[in-house]
Amino acid sequence: MYQLFIFDVDGVLLDSEPLYRAMHRQWFAELGFTLPETQHLSMIGMAANKFWQYLKDNYHLSGEIADYIAEEKARKFQTLQTTPLMPSVGIEPMLQTLKRQGFPTGIASSGLLKNIQLILSRLGFEAFFDHIVSGEQVSRGKPEPDIFLQVAAHFNISPEACVVIEDSTNGVTGAKAAGMFCVGYQNPTSGQQDLSKADLIVDRLDDPRLQPLWTKS
């Protein structure tokens, strides 16, 4: 019987990846390069320092990684503030069911805490979650398992009793490295992510195959 449900934010709670990619495309053009779409999609869910190290190494950026990360934070926050946000289809009924049945829920997101809080506020999801761990709270981001293990430790729940819902290769890799059951959500706007390591792959968050995960025997 699973005891804790852990959610990614971008691409799971919110279909945000198209918003971020559009923001990045405009910014990359300002910086004088174009990142191929296939490469960009493969980097969804990657920790910010790894993302910018790759761009610096491959596109000969002259600035400091810390400065690019700071600028990215500001641009993402502005995007989330000024763009209409809609939850992923099926996510709200799932969260309502988990809350009604008394399951603890956590967030493990590579994003900034203030961005996560803004998304939850704008979606009206604050009451659904008991604990948040953001990318800035762990030294090693996804695809490392640290962020998932930190959420589980907060609740004093063993990894094998946790279910993670992720939409990216990096997220699924990290969840499985943590020893957790992983649901891979094949979000079409997150690109062709390799979710093959997931224990269950769905293309809808209202897929009936998910129900046994929270059905108490």
* pLDDT, mean of residues 27-34: 96
Q: How confident is the model at residue 31 (pLDDT cuts 50, 70, 90)?
A: very high
As given in the structure block, the two tokens for residue 98 are: 């988990």
Average pLDDT, the chain: 94
The answer to whether residues 125 and 179 belong to one domain is yes
Strands (E), the chain: 4-7, 105-109, 131-134, 162-166, 181-185, 200-202
Into how many domains does the chain fold?
Answer: 2
Where a domain ends, among 82, 111, 137? 82
Residue 217 reports pLDDT greater than 70: no
* pLDDT, mean of residues 162-181: 96
The answer to whether residues 68 and 120 belong to one domain is no
Where a domain ends, among 82, 101, 132? 82
Q: Give the β-pairing of 4-7 and 105-109.
A: parallel
CATH number at 156 reads 3.40.50.1000
Taking alpha carbons only, the member of 89, 45, 197, 156 closest to residue 183 is 197
Q: How confident is the model at residue 87 (pLDDT cuts 50, 70, 90)?
A: very high
**Edge-to-edge strand ranges of the sheet holding 200-202:** 131-134, 105-109, 4-7, 162-166, 181-185, 200-202
The answer to whether residues 207 and 106 belong to one domain is yes
Show the domain range for 35. 17-82
pLDDT tens digits, one per residue of 127-157: 999 999 999 999 999 999 999 999 999 999 9
CA distance 39 to 42: 5
* pLDDT, mean of residues 115-120: 96
